[in-house]
């Protein structure tokens, strides 16, 4: 099987970094690269951390969730002609030429539909058919009936294409499991759970690395792990996942999806895999001073690369979620590593001029990927409020950064004319790309973040005194 053609984003730069440093507590009060700059954190008027403030922000967040995510995407994205969900939309939400049915997008849209059914009773009747629609497509079209496993992607007619190939990729399979597990939790449809269980058993048989832990990521259609190719092929990573290597990105989302499945299926082997993935992400992928290596050999030797600030801060949330699912009420090491990564991301990735978090940079020094991608900003919002809930009695810095992040999102990331989130924003705050939907951009990152933030603000308000 050949690698997909250059149809997917993800820039890979192979670089050798040799750095050693330690970040003090709350290191994000320092300036990236040692520069001194006026921060918008010093110029805005902050709301105090009290009941009235939580309630005010909760209403704003809930409004954005509904008009700029849920009711912007649905029912527009429901494809009643070919099945599944349509992904490609212009700024004003007109359908653009289709890039086919991508496993990641289909799983994510099924997942967010299920979450709405469970968490927003007034929208339940509208979203319940969307969940069944997603389950049917994942089970009947995305699943390979001959060899098992979910295809990486297909055309709108359910056929294999040269762009997606006939291969199986664990990142895509992960999100299909994620959507099906949530669908079962929302609907109790036995077909959803049965397919999620079948998929887990398939990856257990074909992709789990029984010697080194974790999972092989690229497999042939038949389920054979693909071997690493020569160096010249490694740097041509069209899909973002090098053949024969393991990646941070796939493993953090496998942690996420198998945690979701464990929530509805208390299988012993599944629990072992969630615990294994949590340990791998925390102890092998995440390293001092609060970053994650992006790529690894099969034996978990890191391949040097840049730091992705958004993945770091997203993984803070994902590790704590998995630890909670495993019943670890006092997991000090996971909390330490998670907080360290979030602190580092804000220390080095925070935009002191406009707010928001940049795309990427070195482990130390100034960021060099200066764009703002919608998912990074939303995952940052989610994690900052989580950290405020945990550490708000010790410091107000997460609460202040949360307010600044919300101000950034509402000012620059939201399209107030046509609704929805801009995909990519330039350093000066103007949109770089105005499309509202592509195969990598679903209602998942922003939907999950705003669901979580709205509910967390409600809990904080309920616990706060007047």
Give exposure, 375-386, as e/b (b: 16+ Cβ within 10 Å).
Answer: bbbbbbbbbbbb
DSSP class of 303: E
Mean pLDDT of 396-422: 97
- 421 strand-pairing partners: 414
Total H helices, total E strands in the chain: 14, 15
Q: How many residues does the chain have?
A: 466
Distance CA 450, CA 14 (A): 35
Helix (H, G, I), strand (E, B) or coil at 246: strand
Query: Which tens digit of pLDDT belongs to each residue from 301-319?
Result: 998 888 999 999 999 999 9
Q: What is the dihedral of CA 442, 447, 449, 452, to 10 degrees?
A: -150
More confident residue, 98 or 228: 98
Residue 2 scores a pLDDT above 60: no
pLDDT at 290 over 60: yes
- Contact (Cβ atoms closer than 8 angstroms) between residue 254 and residue 215: yes
Closest CA to 181 of 102, 270, 252: 270
This prediction has a pTM of 0.91
Can you state the angle between helices 51-65 and 445-463, rounded to 10 degrees?
160
Report the pLDDT value the prediction gives residue 242, as an integer from 0 to 100. Answer: 86
- Report percent pLDDT > 70 for the chain: 88
Contacts of 408 (CB under 8 A, 6+ apart): 351, 354, 355, 356, 377
Backbone region of residue 93 per phi and psi (left: phi > 0; alpha: psi in -120 to 50; beta: other values): left
460 by DSSP, 3-state: which? Answer: helix
| CA dist., res. 150 & res. 138, Å (int) | 8
In the sheet that holds 372-373, the strands lie side by side as: 372-373, 424-425, 431-433
Average pLDDT over the chain reads: 90
* Kind and range of the H or E run holding 292: strand 291-292
Nearest to 450 by CA among 107, 40, 65: 65
- Among 51-55, 238-242, 417-421, whose mean pLDDT is lowest? 238-242
pLDDT of 207 reads 98
pLDDT in tens, 115-162: 999 999 999 999 999 999 999 999 999 999 999 999 999 999 999 999
What domains are there in the chain, each with its CATH number? 27-463 (1.50.10.10)
pLDDT of residue 232: 43
């Amino acid at each position: 099987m050949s690698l997909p053609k250059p149809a997917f984003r993800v820039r890979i730069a192979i670089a050798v970094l040799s750095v050693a440093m330690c970040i003090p507590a709350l290191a994000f009060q320092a300036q990236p690269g040692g520069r001194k700059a006026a921060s918008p954190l010093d110029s805005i008027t902050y709301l105090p951390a009290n009941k009235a403030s939580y309630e005010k922000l909760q209403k704003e967040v809930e409004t954005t969730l509904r008009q700029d995510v849920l009711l912007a995407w649905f029912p527009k994205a429901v494809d009643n002609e070919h099945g599944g969900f349509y992904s490609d939309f212009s700024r004003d939400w007109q359908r653009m030429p289709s890039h086919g049915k991508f496993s990641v997008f289909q799983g994510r849209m099924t997942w967010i539909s299920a979450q709405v059914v469970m968490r927003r009773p007034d929208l339940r009747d509208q979203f319940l058919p969307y969940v069944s629609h997603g389950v049917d497509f994942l089970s009947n079209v995305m699943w390979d009936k001959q060899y098992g496993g979910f295809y990486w992607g297909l055309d709108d007619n359910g056929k294999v294409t040269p762009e997606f190939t006939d291969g199986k990729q664990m990142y895509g399979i992960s999100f299909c499991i994620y959507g099906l597990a949530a669908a079962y939790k929302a609907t109790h449809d036995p077909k959803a759970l049965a397919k999620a269980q079948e998929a887990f058993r398939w990856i257990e048989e074909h992709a789990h690395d029984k010697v080194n832990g974790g999972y092989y990521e690229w497999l042939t259609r038949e389920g054979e792990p693909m071997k690493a190719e020569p160096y010249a092929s490694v740097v041509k990573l069209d899909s973002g996942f090098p053949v024969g290597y393991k990646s941070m990105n796939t493993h953090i989302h496998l942690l996420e999806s198998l945690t979701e499945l464990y929530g509805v299926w208390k299988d012993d082997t599944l629990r072992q895999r969630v615990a294994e993935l949590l340990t791998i992400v925390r102890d092998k992928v995440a390293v001092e001073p609060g970053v994650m290596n992006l790529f690894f050999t099969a034996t978990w030797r890191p391949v040097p690369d840049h730091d992705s600030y958004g993945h770091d801060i997203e993984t803070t949330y994902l590790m704590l979620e998995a630890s909670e699912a495993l019943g670890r009420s006092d997991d000090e090491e996971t909390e330490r590593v998670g907080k360290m990564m979030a602190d580092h991301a804000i220390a080095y990735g925070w935009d002191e001029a406009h707010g928001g978090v940049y795309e990427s940079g070195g482990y130390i020094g100034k960021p060099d990927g200066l764009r703002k991608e919608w998912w990074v900003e939303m995952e940052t919002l989610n994690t900052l409020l989580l950290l405020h809930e945990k550490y708000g009695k010790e410091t107000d810095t997460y609460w202040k950064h949360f307010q600044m992040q919300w101000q950034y999102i509402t000012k620059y990331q939201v399209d107030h004319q046509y609704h929805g989130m801009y995909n990519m924003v330039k350093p000066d705050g103007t949109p770089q790309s105005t499309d509202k939907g592509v195969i990598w951009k679903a209602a998942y990152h922003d939907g999950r973040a705003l669901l979580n933030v709205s509910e967390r603000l409600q809990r904080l308000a309920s616990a706060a005194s007047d």
